[in-house]
Amino acid sequence: MVHNRSKRPRHPDTQAPVTEGMPEPTYADGARRAAPLAIAGVFDGLTFGVLATSAGFGGLPTLVMSATTNAGSAQFAAASLLGAGSGVLAAVSTALLLNTRSLLMGISVSPALRGGRLRRFATAQLVTDESWALGQVEPGRWDRRLVVGAGLAMYASWVGGTALGLAGAGLIDDPRRFGLDAAFFAVFLAVLALQLRTPAARLAALGGAAVALALVPFTPTGVPILAASCVALAGARRRV
Amino acid sequence: MSDPWLVVLAVGAGTALLRGAAPAALAGRRLGGRAMGAAELLPAALLSALVATQVFSTRSALVLDERALGLAAAAIALLLRAPLLVVIAAAALTTAVARALA
């Protein structure tokens, strides 16, 4: 059994004088933070269910994908590419490229997780764009219970929404007609707004958008977003 | 095995590895200040790239369409400190109405 190697205490209480005297966050706090996003997530899942079905993905694979991959943008990309006849390799590589950011998120959340390697690996499966953004207690520091609570709420809404979408796939012919795709970027914009407290973060946001849009015409899907993440890395290196 | 199942399996396994690799390998160790600095800036760069590409591009083309109006509506709602559901509704409704009129 591999234990936490460091002798220093890692517990949020002892690590952050900022939260001293404040009640420690619970799983429910994480779920509560995620509640508005979870409601939007039902619609995102519903949209995915409808779109994947219309792309010829089949009901069971669509539901299993939401339950196992649990990553909206990657799933949309994979289903639409396969539907457009791009082939398995293109669909898989694009989806994984979009999810490369999970690796970076895993690195940043890692100090907040507990237990042996297997438990850390399992807990990290709940780290998504949303639970990662919501589980931050201050820039650069995460709380395990907030991440897990938010992650579970998002997971339930995403899988449940997908099931609803499959059930009603015949009812909504074109989810774009109802602006459901806009729900997606509205959520990301709202989370982004919370991140812009420092000049460095605002610069990173501007740089990220500029780099991503500049690369859109020239690179495969997924590359622009990955390159934008590198802007953050470069920016941080300059600052330290 | 059919193509959709292949995609589901490969993307699922790959994503699980991407998510779990660092926490399993790093155990309790913390990366240096430089990596943590990047972790602070990552959400801003990443989210803004996601928003930009989802609003202003379709596959590999830069596009200016009804989604831009939806984004503007969401931004205004956020500036007015509206709750998240209102922000989402404003974006979806504006985009839908603009599409209906177009």
Residues for chain A: how many in total?
240
The minimal CB distance from B44 to the residues A3, A109, A205 is found for A205
Reported ipTM: the value is 0.81
> What's the pLDDT tens digit per position in B15-25?
999 999 999 99
Q: Which residue has the higher pLDDT, B22 or A2?
A: B22
Distance from CA of B6 to the nearest CA of A (A): 7
* pLDDT number for residue B11: 97
Q: Is a pLDDT exceeding 90 seen at residue A70?
A: yes
| Minimum distance, in Å, between the CA of residue B101 and any CA atom of chain A | 11
Based on its alpha-carbon atoms, the radius of gyration of chain A, rounded to whole angstroms, reads 19
Which residues in chain B are closer than 8 Å to A97, comparing Cβ atoms?
none
Angle, vertex CA A206, rays to CA A200 and CA A210, nearest 5:
140
**CB neighbours of residue A26 within 10 Å:** 13
Written in H, E and C, the secondary structure of B33-90 is HHHHHHHHHHHHHHHHHHHHHHHHEECCEECCCHHHHHHHHHHHHHHCCCCHHHHHHH
pLDDT digits (tens, 9 = 90+) for B41-97: 877 888 898 899 889 998 789 999 999 999 999 999 999 999 877 898 999 999 999
d(CA A118, CA A122): 6
Given pLDDT bands bounded at 50, 70 and 90, which one contains residue A7?
Answer: very low
Summarize pLDDT for A33-62 with one digit per residue, the tens.
898 889 878 888 888 888 788 778 889 999
